[in-house]
Structure 1
Amino acid sequence: MAARERDEAAGERPATLSLFEGVRADGADDGDGDEGAADGAPPSGDGEDRRRRRTRRVLVWTLVALLGLLFGGAGAAYWTVDHYASSVDRIPGAFPTLPVDRQPAAVPNAGTTFLLVGLDARSDVATTGKEAKAPAWKAGAQRSDTMMLLHIAADRRSASIISLARDTLVDVPGHGKAKINAAYSWGGPSLMVETVQNLTGIRIDHIAVIDWNGFRALTDAVGGVDITVPQTIEGRGEARQWDAGTHHMDGAQALLYVRERYGLPNGDLDRSKRQQNFLRALMIQTMDAGTLGSPARLTGLLQAVGEVVSVDDRLSNTDLYELAWSLRGLRPDGVRFMNAPFGGFDSVDGQSVVLLDRAAATTLWEAVRNDRMDQYLAEHSTTSDTLGDSVR
C-alpha cells in the first residue's frame, strides 16, 4: 500500500483504476490507445496493432496460466472486479506454523513463488441441483492430483511452471517416506507446503488450490481450446482413443485429455505434460480477441473462477489487483513449463513411485530460489523435462 500512496502522491492513478483506462464499456478503445502517436494524429499501425494495444489494456495476466484467469478479463468498468475477487475462497492456516529457522529463508527481490495444488474431488453438487463448493481440504478425504510450482520473476517479464509428479517419493514430515500427494491427504495445505519447502529449499509465498473438475466451466467459458495430438494414441481400458491432429475441445473433452494416463507411455509424467499443454492452450485462448470482445464469455469466465480456485488468506483483493497490474506485460511466450527432473521409476512397499534426479533438481531449485530461471532454461532447453510443442 506504501507503493500505491507514492504513486498517487506523484500524480499517478492506482493500478485498480488504470485497468479501465482507454476502454469503453463495450471493450473497444476510446481513441487514446495509440501509444506514441502525436496529439491529434491518426493512430499508427494496422488493425492488428490496435487489437494488440486493446488486448494489453483489457487483459491483465494474473498469476500466469491458472491464477491469470482470476482477473484476466476485467475489461469494462460496469463489471465490479472486487465482486469477482471476493468470490475466490480464502484458505485459512495454509502455511506451516514453524519457527523461521526451520523454514527456507526468503530471498529478497527474487520473485514470487506459488504452490499450485490440483484436486480431482473438490466441488460437489448440492441436493438442490446448484453448484456447491466443498472445503479445499478435509482430513483423509483426498490426495492432491497435481502439484506445480509457479515462479514469477521479479521483473514480471517471465514465469515458470514446474510440475511435481504426484507419485514422487519424498519425506513427509511426521510420516516418513511417502508419495508427495499423500501430504495433502494427511495434513492439508500446510503439510503440503512444508513438504515441498523441505524438498526444494524454496520459500513458498502463496498457495492456490485448483479444482480440475471446474476447468470444464472455464474451458467452455472461453469457447473451448485447440490442442494438437501429434500421433494417434489407441484406447486402452477406459482410456479413449485420441486421433492424430488438432482437436477443438470443449470442457468435458479437455477434462478427459488432462486426466488420462493409462494410454500414455510414461504414465503420470506424460499426464503432467498434458496438463501443462492444456493450461498453455487455455491461456492462449483466454487472450484471444474472441474472448476479450464477448461480454458473455468474459462474464462467464470470471463467474467460473470462483468455483475453481481458492487461495491462501494472505492474498487480499488489493494484493491480487497489484499483482495483476504488475503482470500486465506478461505474454504466453514468456511462460515456460517443465517437469521436475526425472530420476527413474521404483517400487516401494508394492507401490510404484517416481524418483527425482537429485543432482539436477538441486540445480533447478537453486535457480528458482535465486530468480535465475531464464538462465536455467536457456541452458536446459533441450531436456525432455521441458514442455515442447509436441505433446502426446
Structure 2
Amino acid sequence: MLGKPGWGAIVAGDEDGRAGAAGGAEPGGAAEPGGTAESSGTPGAAAAPEPEDVPEAAGPAGKAAGPESPEYRRARIRRRTRRVLYGALILLGVGALLVAGTGYWAYEHYTGRVQRIPHAFPTDVPAAAVPPPSRSGSQTFLLVGVDSRSDLPTTGKDAKAPEWRPGAQRSDTMMLVHLPADHKHAYVVSLPRDSWVGIPGHGMAKLNAAFSWGGPPLLIDTVQRLTRVSIDHLAVIDWSGFKKLTDAVGGVDITVERTVSRRNGPGGVWTAGPHHMDGDDALDYVRERYGLPNGDLDRTHRQQNFLRAVLSKVLSGGTVTNPLKLKRTLDQVTSVVSVDDRLSDGALRDLVWDMRAVRSSDMVFMNAPVAGFDTIDKQSVVLLDDSGSAELWEAVRNDTMADFVATHSLDRLGTHVS
C-alpha cells in the first residue's frame, strides 16, 4: 500500500494549507510542479487512502509523518469520526425500518381484527329517500350502542349472541360522528333514543324502535331520511363491550355536577363531584335517565361524557407511549367494536392515519336540536326541532360544521354534566 500517491501532500494541504509542499511524496512518485503529486502513469487525482494504510507518509518539510505525528493523529481521528457517523446513520436507518415495519404490522394486525357487519345498509330505498353523498374527503359514521339486556357480547370478535334479533335488542345510544375533510376535528351529534320520528314501513315511533324492528339497515334508513345526511359507515358496540373497554383503560374519571338518584346497579345516589368509575359503574352512569332533570337529553350528555373520558384515556400520552398498555387497549377496542363490511382494512388504516392528530379536546359533542317533550300513545317522547335541525344537517352535508358551531347556540356537552 506504500505506492499509493499523494497522502502526505493531501494531509499537509488539508491541515496546514501547504498542499504540494512535500518534495518526496512516496517511493516511486514525485511532486509535479505546482504541487500536484503524481506517480508514473497514475493520475494524481486518485482518492486519498485511509491513514492506517500508510504507516509513514511525508509531513511538512519532508519529514516522515509517523504514528506519533500530529498529522497522522488528526487523520486517524477523522477516520474514526467518519466510522461513528456512518454507524449512527446505519443504526438510524435500521431503526426507521423497524419502526415502519412495526407500525405496518400493527395496522395490519389490528384493522384485520375488527369484526364486520354484513348487509348493514338498506337496499331498495326509493331514489327520493336517498341522501346526497358526503362532501369529498369528509365522512359521517353512525355510532350505535346496543342494549341487549344480556351479559353475552353481541358485537366484536368475541360475540357469543346474535348481533340482532327482532325485538331482542334496542339501540340506546345513537350518535352521528362527522369527520371533516381536514381531519383536524370530529363532531359528535347525539340523537335521543326517544326521538319521535317516522320509521319506514312502521309509521311514527321512537327512534330506538327502528333497530329493534329491523336491525342496522332499518336504523340507517330511518336516520338518513330524518337528517338527509349520508351515512358512510356504521360502528356498533354493546354494553358488554362498553364495560370491557372501560376496564381495559383502567377506568374513567367523570365529574357528576349535582347529586342525583342512582337507580341502576347498587342504587343510592350519585354524589356531586369527581368519580373514578370501573366498567360496571360507567355502565350504570350512562344508562341512568329517570333521576336526571332533563331525562333522555341528560342521558345523552352522560353518554358523550363517558365517550370523551374513554377517548381521553385511549389517546393520552400514558397510553400511546406505553407499548404494553397500548397493545392491551387496542386488543380490547378491536375485540368489542363491530363495523360495516363496506369499511375495508385499508380504509380503516387510512382513517386511523388521517385522524392520528385528533385528541378528545378536538371533538365537539352536542345534542340534535329539541323542541320539547310530549306523551304520545302513553310514551314519553322527545320532539326534535325541525327548523334548527335542518341547519345542523345542512352543515354536516356541506362539511361546514366549524362555522356552524361558531355561529349557533347549541346544546353542547360542557365541562360537567349531571
| TM-score where L is the length of structure 2 | 0.71
Matched ranges for 1:272-311 at <5 A: 272-311=300-339
Q: Distance in 2 between matches of 1:222 and 1:195?
A: 34
1:295 offset after TM fit, Å?
Answer: 3.3
1:75 offset after TM fit, Å?
Answer: 11
Q: Return closer, same or farther for 1:377/1:236 CA change in 2, 3 Å cut-off.
A: same
Q: Return closer, same or farther for 1:87/1:253 CA change in 2, 3 Å cut-off.
A: same
Question: Does 1:88 pair with 2:128?
Answer: no
1:155 offset after TM fit, Å?
Answer: 0.9
Q: Which residue of 1 aligns with 2:210?
A: 183
Decide which structure has greater helix share: 2
1:284 offset after TM fit, Å?
Answer: 1.0
1:290 offset after TM fit, Å?
Answer: 2.3
Q: Return closer, same or farther for 1:76/1:254 CA change in 2, 3 Å cut-off.
A: farther
Matched ranges for 1:1-392 at <5 A: 77=103, 80-97=106-123, 98=125, 100-109=127-136, 111-121=138-148, 124-125=151-152, 132-235=159-262, 239-380=267-408, 382-383=409-410, 385-392=411-418
Gapped regions of structure 1 (runs ≥ 5): 1-38, 40-57, 59-73
How far does the alpha carbon of each residue in 1:160-182 deviate from its partner, in whole angstroms, 9 at most, with x for none?
10001111000000000010111
Whether contact under 8 Å (2:263, 2:288) holds in the other structure is: no
Q: Distance in 2 between matches of 1:182 and 1:337?
A: 24
1:131 offset after TM fit, Å?
Answer: 5.4
Question: Secondary structure of the residue that 1:145 maps to in structure 2?
Answer: strand
Q: Return closer, same or farther for 1:346/1:317 CA change in 2, 3 Å cut-off.
A: same
Q: Distance in 2 between matches of 1:336 and 1:362?
A: 19
Whether contact under 8 Å (1:122, 1:134) holds in the other structure is: no
Q: Distance in 2 between matches of 1:203 and 1:78?
A: 31
Whether contact under 8 Å (1:221, 1:298) holds in the other structure is: no
Q: Distance in 2 between matches of 1:316 and 1:205?
A: 12
Task: Give the letter for the 2:387 counterpart.
Answer: A
Higher relative contact order (CA 8 A, sep 6+): 1
1:300 offset after TM fit, Å?
Answer: 2.0
Q: Percent identity?
A: 57
1:289 offset after TM fit, Å?
Answer: 2.5
1:125 offset after TM fit, Å?
Answer: 3.9
Task: Give the letter for the 2:233 counterpart.
Answer: H
1:206 offset after TM fit, Å?
Answer: 0.7
Whether contact under 8 Å (2:197, 2:205) holds in the other structure is: yes
Gapped regions of structure 2 (runs ≥ 5): 1-84, 86-98
